[in-house]
Amino acid sequence: MAPFFMLDNFLTYLRSEKRYSEHTCLAYKTDLDQFLDFIDAACENDIKEVELNLIRSWMVDLIDHDYSTKSVHRKIASVRTFYKWLQRNGEIDTNPAKLIHLPKLLKTPPSFAHVEEVSRENVECLFDDSFNGVRDQLMFELLYQTGIRSSELIGLTMKNVSQGKIKVVGKRNKERFIPISGSLFLLIKKYLVLKEQLNVENDFLIVLNNGKKIYPKFVYRKINDYLGEATELSVKSPHVLRHTFATHMLNSGAGLEVLKELLGHSNLSATQVYTHNSFAQLTNIYSQSHPRGTKK
């Protein structure tokens, strides 16, 4: 089987059986295309004849080209998953990527905005009452108040919204309901009045001023600009608002299990990354409250 046929079949498997999003499938394709190019340049071996040493050489090459440790981990994981699929389908006997030792991944706490930076008073002044302004404010508030992913925001439809909650379709088409505040629902209604004037034909909630569906780069650019005005963060992306939501919830007393459901995580370990920030909050409270606290 030719490499490109293998890759096409593998991506079909990810979409149909694993139910991965197009964004995730594209990441796999990018990683594997890069790996295939390296194989071709290095030795022109058949993809099914690749051994551990060649994959290790690719990893070293990635590091030499200044790829971050996190990126290297992801790319090797893509190759490992691909060979695992080949092994399961009887194309190879062993997975050559299974035993590779990855560089140590340094865990850094997620970036998040402080409560004061995303307060109503600090944020509302960034937006005007035009369609674009109200839409951008709604995008910002949905990301911060519900913790949804950028892809989930883009996929929201009119039918997903009702008073008091929204229905979100997350990874692998897993559905979850997230409560929304009365003020957020009023903002949605305000936006819908302006949207109706555009005579939009599609059913997506958030649209461009020409009526078309928003897209990832648009959301990133808008949120990056607004976070740049409201905060001192060096990282300014839609995912930062998801981190901010999670951190503020946890610091205000929400349990990990509740936060896990709200974020749509499949396991608790993904949610526990936010306990670092929560512990920092506890440390601050302790230092101010205990008789031997450091800030006394």
Write down the CATH superfamily of domain 120-287.
Intergrase catalytic core (1.10.443.10)
Sign of the torsion formed by the C-alpha atoms of 48, 54, 55 and 58 = negative
For the chain, the residue count is: 296
Quote the pLDDT of residue 47.
82
Domain with CATH 1.10.443.10 in the chain: 120-287
Q: Give dist(CA 24, CA 38) in Å, integer.
A: 21
> Rounded to an integer, what distance in angstroms lies between the CA atom of residue 66 and that of residue 229?
31
Check residue 191 and give its pLDDT. 97
In the set 149, 236, 243, 260, the catalytic residue is 149
Active-site residue 276, yes or no? no
Q: What is the pLDDT of residue 19?
A: 86
H or E stretch including 16? helix 3-16
**Topology (CATH) of 3-88:** DNA polymerase; domain 1 (1.10.150)
**Residue 101 appears among annotated catalytic residues:** no
Catalytic residue among 242, 243, 248, 260: 242
Q: Which of 15, 171, 176, 190 is catalytic?
A: 171
Cα–Cα dist 149/216, whole Å: 11
Rounded CA separation 200/207 (Å): 9
Task: Report the C-alpha gap between 47 and 35 in whole angstroms.
Answer: 10
Contact yes or no for 168/156 (Cβ under 8 A): yes
- Residues 201 and 75: their CA atoms lie apart, in Å, by 40
Residue 176 annotated among the catalytic residues of the structure: no
pLDDT digit of tens for each residue in the chain (296 aa)?
Answer: 456 678 999 999 999 998 888 888 999 999 999 999 998 887 666 788 889 999 999 999 999 998 989 899 999 999 999 999 999 999 999 999 998 999 887 667 788 999 999 999 999 999 999 999 999 999 999 999 999 999 999 999 999 999 999 999 988 788 999 999 999 999 999 999 999 999 888 899 999 999 999 999 999 999 999 999 999 999 899 999 999 999 999 888 888 999 999 999 988 888 888 876 666 666 666 666 666 665 55
Q: How far is CA 255 from the centre of its chain?
A: 21
Active site residue 149: yes
Q: Dihedral, CA atoms, 51, 57, 60, 65, nearest 10 degrees?
A: -120
Where along the chain do the CATH 1.10.150 domains lie?
A: 3-88
In 156-223, the DSSP E strands lie at 161-162, 165-169, 175-179
265 is catalytic: yes
- Within a 10 A sphere around the Cβ of 186, how many other Cβ atoms? 11
Is residue 191 flagged as an active site residue? no
pLDDT at 183: 95
Amino acid at 81: T
Q: What is the pTM of this model?
A: 0.70
Q: What is the pLDDT of residue 290?
A: 60
